[in-house]
Chains A and B, each alone.
Chain A
Amino acid sequence: MNFDDFQKAWQAQDTAAKVTINADTLLKEIRRNQQSLRRTLFWRDVREVGMAFVLTWYFIQRGLRTEAWTDCVVGLTCFAVGAFMVVDRLLQRRKQPVASDSLAAWIESSLLQVNHQIWLLKNVFWWYLLPLSAALGVSVAVSCWHVRDRAAQLTGWCIYVVICGLLDWFLYWLNQTAVKKSLEPRKRELEALRAETGFPVQPSETKNNTMKITLILTVLMLAVLALGVIIAAVPAPANAAPDQSLETIRKQHDLPALAVVVVKNGQICDRQAVGVRKSGDTALVTTNDLFHIGSCTKSMTATLTAMLIEEGKLRWDTTLLEIFPELRGKMDPRYEAVTVEQLLHHRGGVPGEPPAGAWKKAWQEIGTPMQQRREFIEAVLSQPPEAAPGTKMIYSNQGYAIVGAMLEKITGQPFETLMTEKLFKPLHLDTAGFGPPGTTDNTDQPWGHVHKLLMTIPLQLDNPPAIAPAGRVHCSLDDLARFVMFHLHANATNGLLRPETLARLHTPTAGGDYACGWVVLQRGWAGGTTWMHNGSNTMWYIVMWLAPGKDFAVIAATNIAGPEAEQGCDDACVAMIHHWLPE
């Protein structure tokens, strides 16, 4: 038997006869396979490269908005890693093995590809883990530096090092396992094949060239982006110095809008507003825009009460039982002797938290605001007080809601009407109103905002009307300034309130610091006494500081709530105080 016999038998075999092929099903299957392969590759790219660029966008826009250079560094690093992957993938795609090449050429290109992948994974620490960990490390280190507490600084840093170290080690291990388990056996296989074809082993020079090109292109792209960020970050030429500083504060604290008004010697001497009415919208805030004043409403409710006292409708010491005799038996008896003034000073024992059921009901807003309030305060008063009345200060929106209901009971008019007729109109607070400012779904006025999951969400919501006397007023800062001037100038109240009545509004209970809607504090810059209050309906924040000794006041407001809002408004007030009270 010789080879020719083999060949004859071989060529005589009818292989195809034993096979039936359904060409249509086959084509369908092939197309499906090809699509699934493409989809897999596409989603791998989206996952890896897309993630890098989403992070780039997130950190750079955050960095630019808050002027935090560390965020920009993290963003640029994400971009560099993403760019490296893109450039590498594009260069490698051109050199992919082609199935129709000769076997030798195909082995050669497959080997290059495997070698390149091994190189990438072996060096994953240098081009992926180290840059990202280092950039994040810088960011964390700077954040820690800003924390005043040494122990907290150290703890923060240690947590970062441990988490980052473990994560890096895990990713590195994963990559090296892939090299050992899958890439190196493949490489050995291909090398054995190449040896079979009888070709000498060539040094892979092209690979080094590719690496150089990849690195150069990455650095170039990085340079272009860095330049863009620098150009965007360099501030525009200053027009007015104070305005710029307010904008800086706004950016620093990532607030949608920030506004201030300053009162000195009986008139408004400065008003500024920066930022946007609604996050994600282009409409800018103006100095005439309306802000929600939250609990700064309390001093207005107290002032209205004082006016009705002067009218003789009630006394400072009028008790709850006097006003609501019909609630005898329903009301906890300990509330019966609580006075109006105690309620205004938060000393009526009224709980700080509303009863859950009544609070839920209040949000449903069934009936007129007056009915809602009445129902709400009846529920509050039917529960035991949090402390014995008169013994302790408990900050309570419920207490002010009760005051509002008392005024309604005496006059028979809704609190909102009383406030408008007796306070807003005589003081010319023409923009003052209740609830969220502006028309629904319109940016004719600023919106409130909340921070959720790294996002700033604009909202047009407010507290329920039941607690309107504690915090549901909105108005322009100019109008709030007019109200503040009314309090600063005992002799210029146009007969609306007698000086001694006004003084009583500013006088806390002995031993305390809360007067009627005002916190009374001593401050050096004010040359002594200040009256202040802040307010927030959880979507806005405002703070007002009055320095009667200097005939000065400053109000700062923003359309978002939270620690950043509070710090931003404080910073704005400090900047104004420095500017207008230089000594």
Chain B
Amino acid sequence: MPQHSMSAHEQEAIFRRWLDAHLGLLLKIIRGCAAPQDQDDLFQDVLLQLWSSIPAFRGDAKETTWIYRVAFNTALAWRRGEQRRRVKHETFLKMEVSPESQPSHADTLSAQEMVAQLYTAIRGLPKLEASLALMHLDGLSYQQMAEVLGISENYVGVKLNRIRQQLAEKLKGASDEL
């Protein structure tokens, strides 16, 4: 891994800034990639990888692209059980009850439910498609998505068409049941 000299202080500053700016993005990826009971573990791993990747980060890469890549790569490499041996000394993270079953007042219910169903649907997709769906919902351009995944923009287009259909079908089915 190419590393240029970076003080621990600088590394910490960048990490805190990224956490401030991109926490929402990271959490969306975690929720899209892991079942609720595993999200805590995966999140720790993603943060650890992100921290380790900072010394290799240079200004020429786009911050969000970088973070998407690290998060996706970690999420795809991550498997349940491997982390079982880890002893958690302290919990730094408090996740409230996942949005899937979050009760709320009536006017926002449909939007919240829609999001919850989207997460469930995304987790049911193949891994590559899940990552595309997450980025697409976040409104990334084809070019950005292609860059994160290392595939051609054309291929992104082809895939997204199918993903949109699949999501629409899954959510339609769900709302029909209601």
Contact indicator B53/A27 (Cβ below 8 Å): no
Q: Report the minimum CB–CB distance from B105 to chain A (whole Å).
A: 15
The reply on B93 being an interface residue by CB < 8 A is yes
Scan residues 136-167 of chain B and give those whose CB is less than 8 A from a CB of chain A.
136-139, 147-151, 155, 164, 167
Scan residues 5-21 of chain A and give those whose CB is less than 8 A from a CB of chain B.
5-7, 9-16, 18-21
Residue of B nearest to A2 (CB): B168
A1-B175, A21-B92, A103-B76 known; A29 vs B49 contact (CB < 8 Å): no
A11-B138, A100-B57, A103-B150 known; A23 vs B16 contact (CB < 8 Å): yes
Contact indicator A103/B90 (Cβ below 8 Å): no
A16-B23, A19-B23, A96-B1 known; A103 vs B69 contact (CB < 8 Å): yes
Residue of A nearest to B31 (CB): A15
The reply on A90 being an interface residue by CB < 8 A is no
Contact indicator B44/A29 (Cβ below 8 Å): yes
A2-B168, A29-B89, A197-B151 known; A19 vs B95 contact (CB < 8 Å): yes
Contact indicator A10/B73 (Cβ below 8 Å): no
Range for the number of chain A residues in contact with chain B: 35 or more
Contact indicator B127/A100 (Cβ below 8 Å): no
The reply on B94 being an interface residue by CB < 8 A is yes
Q: Report the minimum CB–CB distance from A383 to chain B (whole Å).
A: 64
In the bound assembly, the distance between CA atoms of A471 and B31 in angstroms comes to: 84
Contact indicator B167/A26 (Cβ below 8 Å): no
| Contacting residues, chain B, for A10 (C-beta < 8 A) | 115, 118, 137-138
Residue of B nearest to A27 (CB): B12
In the bound assembly, the distance between CA atoms of A431 and B24 in angstroms comes to: 90
What's the count of A-B pairs with C-beta under 8 Å?
A: 154
A2-B168, A18-B99, A21-B92 known; A100 vs B137 contact (CB < 8 Å): no
| Contacting residues, chain A, for B23 (C-beta < 8 A) | 15-16, 19, 21
Where chain B touches its partner, the secondary structure class is helix
In the bound assembly, the distance between CA atoms of A473 and B118 in angstroms comes to: 95
Where chain A touches its partner, the secondary structure class is helix
Contact indicator B86/A33 (Cβ below 8 Å): yes
Contact indicator A198/B151 (Cβ below 8 Å): yes
Which of B51, B112, B114 touches A6 (beta carbons < 8 Å)?
B114
In the bound assembly, the distance between CA atoms of A5 and B150 in angstroms comes to: 28
Number of interface residues of B (CB under 8 A): 65
Stretch in contact with the other chain, from A104-112, A162-170, A266-274, A485-493 = A104-112
Which of B49, B69, B139, B168 touches A102 (beta carbons < 8 Å)?
B69
Residue of A nearest to B23 (CB): A16
Contact indicator B96/A19 (Cβ below 8 Å): yes
In the bound assembly, the distance between CA atoms of A408 and B146 in angstroms comes to: 104
Contact indicator B94/A19 (Cβ below 8 Å): yes
Scan residues 452-472 of chain A and give those whose CB is less than 8 A from a CB of chain B.
none
The reply on A101 being an interface residue by CB < 8 A is yes
Contact indicator A196/B1 (Cβ below 8 Å): no
| Contacting residues, chain B, for A107 (C-beta < 8 A) | 76
In the bound assembly, the distance between CA atoms of A115 and B103 in angstroms comes to: 48
Most buried by A among B61, B76, B148, B167: B76
> Other CB < 8 Å A-B pairs besides A7-B137, A28-B90, A103-B76, 20 of them?
A6-B137, A6-B168, A9-B114, A9-B115, A10-B118, A10-B138, A16-B23, A18-B95, A18-B96, A19-B27, A19-B96, A26-B19, A30-B47, A98-B53, A99-B50, A99-B53, A100-B57, A100-B66, A100-B70, A106-B69
Listed in ascending order, the chain B residues whose CB lies under 8 Å from chain A are: 1, 12, 15-16, 19, 23-24, 27-28, 31, 44, 47-53, 56-57, 61, 66, 69-70, 72-74, 76-77, 86, 89-96, 99, 111-112, 114-115, 118, 126-129, 131, 136-139, 147-151, 155, 164, 167-168, 171-172, 175
A sample of 24 cross-chain residue pairs with beta-carbon separation below 8 angstroms, ordered by A number, consists of A1-B168, A1-B172, A7-B137, A7-B139, A9-B118, A10-B138, A12-B111, A13-B111, A15-B27, A15-B28, A21-B93, A26-B93, A27-B15, A30-B47, A96-B1, A97-B77, A99-B70, A100-B61, A100-B66, A103-B73, A106-B150, A193-B76, A193-B128, A197-B151
What 7 A-B pairs come out closest when comparing CB atoms?
Answer: A102-B150, A104-B150, A25-B92, A196-B128, A26-B92, A10-B137, A16-B24
